[in-house]
Structure 1
Amino acid sequence: MKVILFDIDTLRADHMGCYGYGRNTTPVMDGIAKDGVCFDRYYCPNAPCLPSRASMVTGLYGIHNGIVGHGGTAADLRLQGESRSFTDLVSENGLFMQFKRAGLHTVSFSSFAERHSAWWFLSGLDEYYNPGLRGGESADMVTPAVLNWLERNREMEDWFLHVHYWDPHTPYRTPEGIKSRFQDEPLPDDWITDEIFEEHLRHIGPHGANEINMWNDETFSRWPKHPGSLKTRGDAKHFIDLYDDSVRFTDDNIGLIVAWLKEHGLYGDDLAIIITADHGEDLGEFGVYGEHGMADEPVCHIPLIIKWPGTEGGRRIKGFYDNTDLLPTVKELLGTETFGDYRYDGVSFKEPLLGGKECGRSAAVLTQCAHVCQRSVRFDHYIYIRTIHGGYHLLPEEMVFDLDCDPHQLHNLAEEQPELCGRGARMLLEWTERMMKQSDSDRDPMWTVMREGGPEHCRGRLEAYEKRLEETGRAYGIPLLKEQYREEFRGQE
């Protein structure tokens, strides 16, 4: 058997053709979706990059594996402790280990482990190709290495390749000589009106139109296409064009690999392809551009496309699933055994994948603690978002949006429909209590993040950002920040 997992950073599901996007950003992946199964409501339960891949590889939510942020205690897997044997249970039961245990030769093309000091990510791999730029590489640096490996190992019977592309992650980085595919094409959903963009120019908080580079408008010679700020609505459109260009460039590179497989007779029933992402991206939602810093729909709704031997192509699965489910599904498909006393949070979706009964959840719980501290729940056609720390955005404690009619989360229904807030809050409370009852720790790592100074990407930024607001004519926001984050302002006095 041969398996390729295309792990695409920051791929927002609704910017793919197979998820309804009006631009031709993903023709190759759309073709694979026609040959396989597409999951309509698949979620990243712990955003962004590091927590998400920790959930995918361990099959555990961050509240159990300990990783919910990008720094501090909550950026490391919890130690197994006294019960640890010669090897630990997470390493022995992780995603890549299942393919190795099933007899496949396992290879990863990724710099993720080095970027985040996440060396546990390599467990189960026989080979590891690291481009060495800690996420700064583009797809045209990765694809040749994959093709070279395939050429050298074309006679090998059983292998698993993890191919990681960073290109849709900021800074958007299609090679300098490649012209935009979309600059002369209107946006399929031109929701950022003049009025909305004016609000974005007044936005308080990092990664807004005035500070694409999170806290300032600096640009970098290495990535000349990526702007430092957006001055006009046209600039905002250009920025989204750049994102779509990076998605298409990734798709083109996947196409090179798929073409090689077809040319050599390997794109058949014996080949499995999995396409997914760690998280999506906000592209104007909440006034945020080019960041994956919320526990909201654009950030947490991710694609999952699976072409697996024995599956009927062209089907769509409608239930709620999240990336902890991938590992137990792979285990069941491969027939591997669990090592020791290890319990996954995820639930196998083998049955619906192979054409059987749906087994999705009634809701998906989402957590973000790297840029903000939020916990959300996605249910029916709503998302309820509860903010503990707003990351220096001026966010209310409770928000709820009807995504069927408000996909960009413009109209908070919290005051109009408090019963939705009550329903969402209860679901979060019940989920948290259930998770903590199952935990071998008495600590919810979200509160560890709060006790250690808040989200990693905000720590120590307040004073400098206050000056930035003064310099850019947004001093009106300083007293509002001081009111919402009074304890942190008091701490710097």
Structure 2
Amino acid sequence: MRILYIDVDSLRPDHLGCYGYDRDTSPNIDRIAEDARRFTNYYVSDAPCLPSRTAYFSGRFGIHTGVVSHSGITADIRHRGDERGHTNRGAYRTLPNALRQEDHKTAFISPFPQRHAAWHAVDGFTEWIDTGKFGVERADEIYPLAEEWLRENGTDEDWYLHLNFWDPHTPYNTPSEFGNPFADDPAPEWLTEELLEEQYESYGPHSARDVHHGYLSGDGPEDLDRTPDEIADLADFEQWVDGYDVGIRYMDEYVGDLIDLLKEQGVYEDTVIVVSADHGENLGELNVYGDHQTADDVTCRVPLVVKGPDVEPGVDDDLHYHLDLSATLVEMVDGDVPEGWDGRSFLPSLAEGESVGRDFLVTGQGAWACQRGVRWDDWLLLRTYYDGWREFDAVELYDLDADPHEVENVARDNPAVAERGMALLDRWRSQRGIDAATGANGGNPGAPRSLVDPLLEVIRDGGSFYLQGNMETYTERLRETGRTEHAEEIEARDGIVRQDPSEFLS
């Protein structure tokens, strides 16, 4: 089987035409979606980049692999301990290894392993092509390498090509000559002047007034053509959204080239094409602009479009993890899903349109905040342990049907629902602990620290790597901009959320 996985960093589903976006950002992805199965509630288990791709390639939750952040011991997969043999072809083998065992050539075109020192991500790939710019390369730099690989291998029978585009990721460096196809299109209307004013007076890395990373370190705003220095008004917001959407549209042009190349080779109809992402991108939600710092719906829900032979076109609204796709792909090539995986195949949905989703999902974030989300029915509950220097409550509850941009925390108005979400989270954590103690699913009792929640290790080691060493410069900025009370809050707590959820809800 031929499988082309188009992995677009920071791609939100609700900014694609096939998911109902009113801007024409994705005409070529939409072409694929016309004959594909499209998943509307598909989530990464762990965010952002390094935890997400680790979970996808390993088929295991971050609470089992230990990878929940971008630095320190929680950025590397825990040693397999007694389960470590002389190869990695057993219960904890990776997706590329599982595909190789079914005689598939596996290739990875991406700077990701270099960008995050994620050497475990190349485990099982026959070929890794490093695109060389640590994640700021544009689609015009990625596509020629993909074209070369496909011209050499595309007509072969069995391969998996994982191709990584980065254009929707900040700094939104689409070439200036590409222009702005959306100059006459209004920005999404959910952000009001009143809400923006509240965000502007608030605080946090990549928040409305401190939108560039340089504000943390004291370096100030970055000199970028497509992003403003701050989000002071709705015109700034529109410019920011335009920068993101233009990145999608630019990348999509090269998706069109991929389609044309596969058709030229006569293999388009016989190739499984997957379009997805490692995480989404907050564009003002929870006062985060152009980053992915939370375990919320916007950061953790990603697109999934799957087209190919024996794929039933249509829409799947069930709840799925991205590591469930790993198990599905193994079954698609007639392999056995490894015993050491957490992922569950949803092949019956792809092949026959059956409903095989999960009852609820738990998402995680450890690179900025230490936070977990629970997604069930139309609800999203966020439980924050370490706030990453943001105004997060201990418990937040959002009705995603009525409030998809997470504007109003309704936890105190719906305490029974919030308690239900907390109960689901406790149930999930308890089961993962049993897995780790007994070796069920993705747990490995022989691994060092196997019974320790890695989010707690992040907190123990000082919280977010991106914030460490920046308190003095950032609190000075807050005082200089009239936000002294926020500076004092950071200095007093350094992000630790000590309030008990029951106290917040009472």
Which residue number in structure 2 is paired with residue 320 of structure 1?
319
Aligned length: 482
1:433 and 2:430 are equivalent in the alignment: yes
The CA distance in 2 between the partners of 1:371 and 1:487, in whole Å, is 12
The 3-state SS of whatever aligns with 1:399 is: strand
CA displacement 1:235-292 (0-9 Å, x = unmatched): 1111001101111111111111111112232211x21101110000110111111010
Task: Decide whether the 8 Å contact of 2:293 with 2:369 is kept in 1.
Answer: yes
* Counterpart in the other structure of 1:303: 303
CA shift, 1:483, in A, is 4.6
- Counterpart Cα distance in 1 of 2:213 and 2:378: 31
Other structure's SS at 2:275 match: strand
Query: Structure 1: which amino acid aligns with 2:16?
Result: M
Whole-Å separation in 2 of the counterparts to 1:207 and 1:155: 45
1:132-151, Cα deviation, whole Å (9 max, x unpaired): 11101111100011112222
What does residue 200 of structure 1 align with? Answer: 199
1:223-302 pair list within 5 angstroms: 223-268=224-269, 270-302=270-302
Q: Which amino acid aligns with 2:241?
A: I
User: 1:356 offset after TM fit, Å?
Assistant: 4.5
After superposition, the Cα gap between the structure-2 partners of 1:486 and 1:75, relative to the gap in structure 1 and judged at 3 Å, is closer
Residues 453 and 358 (structure 1), Cα distance of their counterparts in 2 relative to 1, 3 Å cut: same
TM-score normalized by structure 2?
0.91
Alpha-carbon contact 1:208-1:214 (below 8 Å) kept: no
Aligned to 2:455: 446
Matched, 1:369 2:366: yes
* Counterpart code for 1:244: D
- What's the counterpart of residue 475 of structure 1? 484
* Structure 1 outlier segments of 4+, above 4 Å: 89-92
Are 2:340 and 1:331 aligned?
no
The SS at the match of 1:320 is strand
| Structure 2: distance between partners of 1:60 and 1:415 | 34
Q: 2-side partners of 1:124 and 1:442: how far apart?
A: 27
Q: Is residue 379 of structure 2 the alignment partner of residue 389 of structure 1?
A: no
- When structure 1 is superposed on structure 2, of 366-375 and 198-207 the one drifting more is 198-207
The answer on whether the counterparts of 1:207 and 1:215 sit within 8 Å (CA) in structure 2 is no
1:119, 1:91 → 2: CA distance?
19
Within a 5 Å distance, the mapping from 1:76-115 to structure 2 comes to 76-88=76-88, 93-115=93-115
For the 8 Å contact 1:16–1:25, the answer to whether it is kept is yes
- Decide which moves more: 96-105 or 141-150: 96-105
Q: 1:459 aligns with which of 451, 459, 468?
A: 468
**Given the alignment of the two structures, is residue 403 of structure 1 paired with residue 365 of structure 2, yes or no?**
no
Query: What is the root-mean-square deviation of aligned Cα atoms in Å?
Result: 1.8
Give 1:91 deviation, angstroms. Answer: 9.6
Conservation of the 8 A alpha-carbon contact between 1:93 and 1:338: no
Cα shift at 1:88: 3.2
SS in 2 for 1:374: strand
Instruction: Give ranges in structure 2 of 5+ residues lacking alignment.
Output: 437-444, 498-506
Residues 294-352 of structure 1 show CA distances to partners (whole Å, capped at 9, x for unaligned) of 11111111011111321232x0111100111011111111112456xx42111100011
Residue of structure 1 in register with 2:55 after alignment: 55
Structure 1 Cα separation of the partners of residues 87 and 267 of structure 2 = 36
- Secondary structure in 1 aligned to 2:176? coil
Structure 1 residue ranges without an equivalent (≥5): 489-493
DSSP-derived class of the 1:325 partner: helix
Match of 1:491 in 2: none
Secondary structure of the structure 2 residue equivalent to 1:326: helix
Measured against aligned partners, the alpha-carbon deviations of 1:167-192 in whole angstroms (never above 9, x if no partner) come to 111111111211011122112x3111
Residue 357 (structure 2) pairs with residue 360 (structure 1): yes
- Find the aligned partners of 2:485 and 2:326 in 1 and give their Cα distance: 48
Measure, in 1, the Cα distance between the counterparts of 2:124 and 2:12: 28
Amino acid of the structure 2 residue aligned with 1:366: T
Distance 1:290 1:94, change over 3 A: same
Q: Secondary structure at the match of 2:202?
A: coil
- Paired with 1:483 and 1:454, the residues of 2 have a C-alpha distance of 15
Distance (whole Å) between structure 2 residues aligned to residue 263 and residue 87 of structure 1:
39
Distance in 2 (CA, whole Å) between partners of 1:117 and 1:354 is 37
Partner of 1:354: helix, strand, or coil?
helix
- Matched to 2:123, the amino acid is S
Q: Does 1:172 align with 2:172?
A: yes
Query: What is the letter of the counterpart of residue 432 of structure 2?
Result: M
Deviation at 1:357, TM superposition (A): 2.5
Q: Name the aligned partner's letter for residue 113 of structure 1.
A: P
Alpha-carbon distance in 2 for matches of 1:290, 1:486: 21
Q: Secondary structure at the match of 2:484?
A: coil
Q: Is the 8 A contact 2:214 2:222 kept in 1?
A: no
- Work out the CA distance in 1 between the residues paired with 2:31 and 2:320: 22
Greater CA drift, 476-485 or 206-215:
476-485
The 1:265/1:380 distance shift into structure 2, 3 A limit, reads same
Moved more, 353-362 or 364-373: 353-362
The Cα shift of 1:227 comes to 3.4
Aligned to 1:278, the other structure's residue is in SS state coil
Give the match's secondary structure for 1:251. Answer: helix
With over 3 angstroms needed to count, the CA separation of the structure-2 counterparts of 1:89 and 1:67, relative to structure 1, is farther
In structure 1, the partner of 2:415 is: 418
- CA gap of 1:11–1:155, structure 2 versus 1, over 3 A, is closer
**d(CA) in 2 for partners of 1:485, 1:79:** 31
1:380 aligns with 2:381: no
- Deviation of 1:461 (Å): 2.2
Structure 1 position 219, deviation (Å): 4.3
Q: Which residue does the alignment assign to 2:439?
A: none
Q: 1:145 to 1:411 in 2, by over 3 A?
A: same
Whole-Å separation in 2 of the counterparts to 1:123 and 1:320: 28
Which residue type is aligned with residue 47 of structure 1? Answer: A
Over 3 Å counting, the alpha-carbon distance change for 1:279 and 1:91 in structure 2 is farther
Which amino acid is 2:333 matched to? Answer: L
